[in-house]
Chains A and B, each alone.
Chain A
Amino acid sequence: MPIYLFIFRRILFTIPLLLGITVVAFILANAVPADPINANLPSNQLNNPELVEAFRREWGLDKPPVEQYLTYLGNLLQGNLGRSIRSRQPIAEDIGRFLPATIELSTVATILGVTFGVSFGVISAVWKNTPVDFLVRTLGLIGISVPLFVLALVGLTVFHAELGWVAGPGRLSVRLSPPPNVTGMYLIDSLLAGQWNVFQDALSRLILPSMVLALYITGMISRITRSSMLDVLRADYIRTARSKGLRERFVVLRHGLSNAMIPIVTAIGLSYGVLLAGAVLTESIFAWPGIGRYMFSASTGQDFPAIMGVSILIAFIYVVVNLVVDVLYYFLDPRVRAA
């Protein structure tokens, strides 16, 4: 099957899923016992029927649910996620403001986590059942067992408050102005603008939260890499390669790792989802102005349009990441191409 046909079919398959996601988000947002009018209009406006009516009309609360949903979907297709009840800003704009911070954090954490995870996994598999293997596996298990919020607190107490090695919470020192907005990611934007001091400060603040997240990813990826490598290393073609007298390092990396990549790629895709979720905790401790913190204040503030917008967005990202993983399969696994 040619690549474009493959991608097209995949996209076609995800459409019902995407629709379903919007339905679930919509049901959740409307299964509220709290009255959104009471929660969001100032008290002295509640006595004014005109104002209450205006609010109802603005949020379509006067129409039947199905119609409300279709209106919502129509707006969604035009990129309009509605307005946040709390910030009174368009949600799409809010997301545009908060998402780059989360992407920056998650991407750095993924890069760190995958690098360490794959290396540890390979080491563990090659020296299987040795003390090295045991140590790496135990560390991997510890990585996925210590709560993120505990790691974050230990990190802040030790490396920021006590030792002063890294900067504290926040994305950038308040004394510095953010670099001119190009990608919304401070590391990239500051380099583009040649603002070296901004880059340094942003990096210093990124280290701790991304390390905390990366530890979890490392634990997850190293476990999967190890078992996947072990599977592959037992395979016939590896034995053939070895019998041909190829150097062991070459066999492991060229033949072993490249074939073990398929489950690892899946895990990386999955880990991105885990990261977005973990971001809620890390962002709240590190005062990171990202989508997780936005979601948290939306959910405690019963800002249902915003909850809906963020849930849909994150679910969409997850679906897209899976799509990308499928496409990578296409390149990694000849069997998919043949199917």
Chain B
Amino acid sequence: MIAGVVSAQDETVLVVGHAESTDSLDPARGYTQTTGIINKVTYETLVTFPSDSASEIVPLLATDWTISEDGLTYTFNLRAGVTFANGDPLTADDVVFSVNRLANVVGNPSFLAANIASVTADDEDTVTFVLNAVDPAFLSNLSNSAFGITNDAQVIDAGGSAAEDAATADAAETFLNGTSAGTGPYILEAWESDVQTVLVRNPTYWGTAPFFDRIIIVNIPEAATQAVALESGEIDIALDLTSDQMPGFEGNADIAVASVPGNIVHFLLMNNNPDIGGPMSNPLVQRAVRLALDYEGFATLWGGINPGTIMAVGQQYAFTPEQGIARDLDAARALLTEAGYPEGFDITLQYPTFTFQGVNMDTNAQKIQSDLAEVGINVTLEPGELSVSLEQYRTGQQGFGYWFWGPDVLDSIDVLSFLPGGKVGAERANWTDENSEAVIQELREAARVATDPAEREQLFTDIQTYLQENGPWAPFLQPNVQTAFRADLQGYVWHPQWLIDLAILSR
């Protein structure tokens, strides 16, 4: 590229290289990592986490809140003087509208609002939530950008609706894919699917003004291309590198690197419905698969660790890599024989053609195929385009699938999604109350409402111990997040929820 060329206005521009996975930029509908990164800076939530951890809940659009004795009613006081990017002031009605809209459009993140019985505006600056059941993770939940507050007037003008029939009545998605209607430090200027997303600074932002005038998130799917683009100065930060590339930056004074354990777990899904999963629905086979995977190999391949269970290492109460499952081919073969497959069987593995944070799923799928071949399971690979495969997975049509998971809620109870009847457990793997054991259902119910730390630790330990032996999941890799950026870029910190806060970067 031609050095020293800047836009005509002499703006400060941040260029981010990223493998885009955006499904929608409507906060009530989008639910992918890229959506999270972008909506983090265009929308704001009532409460949030500190910029570098999920250790506590801190105020954002709400300044303070009270929780009722029974733990079911939360009342929030809104921050005064906050305006949307178009100048409208933030009111309690905007909050009510945004939450109801999320609940009613039946988008991918709508499940986050499922436990909310009602949300009402007490006055201009006060909002009350009533829950269906006690939820120790409710505030963590609220910090998800799906709960980003939108300007009700603007969204309604664009055809939006928060009514009960919003799933058909709401027509604001196209509008929200083209611009944002939030209170965040940036405004969405344009999203060209698969090409780039452009954000511009919100001139009326109520908080500390961000450093960059303009942020361009350019879609670069291949890790190698991201690395070259970073070296040439084409981009300022590369979000999806692999561990292979890190040594290449050593001795390059222009580039700084960061490698953190991350919290994404790559796992296999083995559908519990025999009509869909076939042999994979057999609990013995499921255990055999867990024993057949070469955990050390995957960790070497990408630079990462063996997740102890489907709970990411680093989550509270999660097992450590040392507590993870060790490969034992003989035990796996014995289990297959016991299950009635002494000669193994044929199965198709479905997964998306996708590289996430530098981890190429196609490469892992080939290793899974090779690992399982050693115990006689003959795997045929069936890669699919991300959106196509994602829908098969979300609708529970995959018998044997390979996916990755980042926590929805930064609380141990996130793992309940994977238990019988849970969002992932029931909908995607057909692990239901009908075909699961009472013991895990009891653990689940207890963990859902427990608040005492010692009790929680015991419950989540028991759940993880159970999951290592049973269940339709075979988690096999928690890759490190490899990020590299121009050495003059300040303020980069990885965050377990939104991965990167673009608004706190400066030069």
Interface residues of A (CB under 8 A from B): 34, 38-46, 48, 50-51, 54, 86-88, 160-161, 164, 167-170, 173-177, 197, 200-201, 204, 287, 289, 293, 297, 300-302
Contact = CB atoms under 8 A, between A and B. Distances in A.
B323 interface: no
Interface string B161-174: 00000011000011
B131 interface: no
Nearest to B235: A174
Contacts of A176: 5, 7
A175 B6 contact: yes
Given A50-B168, A54-B168, A168 B385 contact: no
A204 B220 contact: no
A43 B391 contact: yes
Contact of B388 (A39, A41, A168): A39
Contact of A300 (B177, B192, B353): B353
A175 B195 contact: no
Given A42-B106, A51-B168, A160-B228, A201 B1 contact: yes
Interface in B226-262: 228-229, 232, 234-235
Contact of A43 (B225, B229, B385, B394): B394
Contacts of B195: 289
Contacts of A297: 194, 385
A175 B388 contact: no
A34 B173 CA distance: 26
Contacts, number: 104
A332 B485 CA distance: 59
B167 A51 contact: yes
B2 interface: yes
Contacts of A87: 193
A41 to B, nearest CB: 8
B15 interface: yes
Contact of A197 (B5, B167, B174, B394): B5
Contacts of B168: 50-51, 54
B228 to A, nearest CB: 5
B107 interface: yes
B377 to A, nearest CB: 26
A44 B394 CA distance: 9
B110 interface: yes
A242 B128 CA distance: 99
Interface in B353-378: 353
A170 B221 CA distance: 12
Given A38-B392, A39-B391, A43-B391, A300 B385 contact: yes
- Residue from A48, A174, A197 whose CB has the most chain B CB atoms within 10 Å: A174
A201 B5 contact: yes
A272 B64 CA distance: 65
Given A48-B167, A54-B168, A38 B391 contact: yes
Nearest to B387: A301
Nearest to B15: A174
B388 A34 contact: yes
25 contacts: A34-B388, A39-B391, A42-B106, A42-B108, A43-B108, A44-B106, A44-B107, A44-B108, A45-B167, A51-B106, A51-B167, A51-B168, A160-B228, A167-B1, A167-B2, A168-B228, A168-B234, A173-B2, A173-B234, A174-B15, A174-B234, A175-B13, A175-B15, A204-B1, A289-B195
A177 B1 CA distance: 14
A297 B195 CA distance: 12
B72 interface: no
A169 B106 contact: no
Given A175-B6, A176-B7, A40 B228 contact: no
B405 to A, nearest CB: 16
B228 A161 contact: yes
A174 B234 CA distance: 8
B421 to A, nearest CB: 16
A160 B329 CA distance: 46
B443 to A, nearest CB: 26
Contacts of A293: 194
Nearest to A53: B168
Contacts of A174: 15, 196, 216, 218, 234-235
B229 A168 contact: yes
B225 A287 contact: yes
A92 to B, nearest CB: 16
B427 interface: yes
B183 to A, nearest CB: 26
A105 to B, nearest CB: 16
Nearest to B7: A177
Interface string B150-168: 0000000000000000011
B100 interface: no
B385 A302 contact: yes
B234 A86 contact: no
Given A38-B391, A54-B168, A48 B2 contact: no
Given A168-B234, A174-B196, A204 B388 contact: no
A61 B15 CA distance: 43
Instruction: Rank and list the top 8 A-B pairs by shortest CB-CB distance, nearest first.
Output: A43-B394, A300-B385, A43-B395, A301-B385, A174-B218, A174-B216, A167-B1, A44-B106
A200 B192 CA distance: 24
Interface in B159-213: 167-168, 173-174, 177, 192-196
Given A175-B6, A175-B13, A301-B385, A42 B394 contact: yes
A300 B216 CA distance: 26
